[in-house]
């Protein structure tokens, strides 16, 4: 069974353990000597578990959208409304995943320029300079996003959106539909990651109000 161990606070001991069967049809959660078992329906709906001390742990399987470029479903783990460090909702984790997408498109652009130089017969690469600069810019933004910074993620989406507009205009509206769809899905994916990377804020509990 796949297993993930998380700390309830950044830098703390990894006392929270999550295990699941293939497809998350059954999910096991344990922390500080307590254990819970969730079936597929409970995991999809989301379970609120009370930990020692009164904190509430939310565990939920979030299905990926059919149009999403994400590779798998998310496992939402929040403590009193704040994503647990290292979980799929952690801004740093979201940033690293967005960084991998941005870096992939940056490397593809550099690879295309390299292949044209090596195998092309036309001498100078058409638009090769700006294309290579775009690839380098995307790789730089990916490196910054990997540290959990939000701005490079939205800038990466902006660079890809600008390239899409320029390519459609240059093609006179006859750009490849598949290429346009892929670009739009990636841009939407990065924008969604950027929105999810907002600094988390805990939901005030009733006990905290009267402290």
* pLDDT value, residue 200: 61
Instruction: Say whether pLDDT at 80 is over 50.
Output: yes
Instruction: Say whether pLDDT at 20 is over 80.
Output: yes
Instruction: Say whether pLDDT at 2 is over 50.
Output: yes
* Average pLDDT taken over every residue of the chain: 86
Report, as an integer, the average pLDDT of 173-189: 89
Report, as an integer, the average pLDDT of 87-97: 94
Domain ranges of the chain: 3-89, 91-196
Instruction: Residue 2: name the closest of 31, 22, 25 by CA.
Output: 22
**Residue 42 in tokens:** 């409970």
Q: At what angle do helices 91-119 and 151-170 cross, to 10 degrees?
A: 40
* pLDDT value, residue 170: 85
Q: What angle do CA 100, 105, 108 make, to 5 degrees?
A: 120
Of 24-33, 112-121, 147-156, the poorest mean pLDDT is in: 112-121
For the whole model, what pTM was predicted?
Answer: 0.83
Q: Quick one: how far is CA 170 from the chain centroid?
A: 31
| Tens-digit pLDDT profile for residues 21-53 | 877 778 999 998 899 999 888 989 999 999 888
């Amino acid at each position: 069974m796949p297993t993930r161990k998380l700390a309830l606070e950044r830098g703390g001991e990894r006392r929270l353990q999550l295990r699941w069967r293939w497809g998350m049809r059954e999910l096991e959660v344990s922390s500080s000597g307590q254990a819970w078992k969730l079936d597929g329906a409970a995991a999809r709906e989301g379970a609120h578990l009370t930990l020692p001390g009164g904190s509430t742990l939310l565990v939920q399987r979030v299905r990926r959208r059919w149009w999403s470029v994400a590779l798998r479903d998310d496992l939402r783990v929040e403590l009193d409304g704040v994503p647990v460090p290292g979980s799929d909702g952690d801004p740093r984790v979201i940033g690293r995943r967005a960084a991998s997408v941005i870096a992939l498109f940056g490397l593809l652009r550099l690879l295309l320029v390299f292949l044209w130089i090596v195998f092309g017969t036309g001498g100078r690469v058409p638009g090769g300079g700006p294309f290579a600069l775009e690839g380098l810019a995307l790789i730089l933004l990916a490196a910054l996003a990997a540290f959990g910074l939000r701005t490079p993620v939205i800038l990466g989406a902006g660079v890809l959106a600008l390239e899409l507009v320029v390519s459609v205009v240059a093609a006179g509206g006859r750009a490849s539909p598949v290429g346009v769809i892929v670009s739009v899905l990636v841009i939407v994916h990065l924008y969604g990651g950027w929105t999810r990377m907002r600094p988390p804020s805990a939901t005030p509990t009733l006990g905290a109000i009267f402290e």
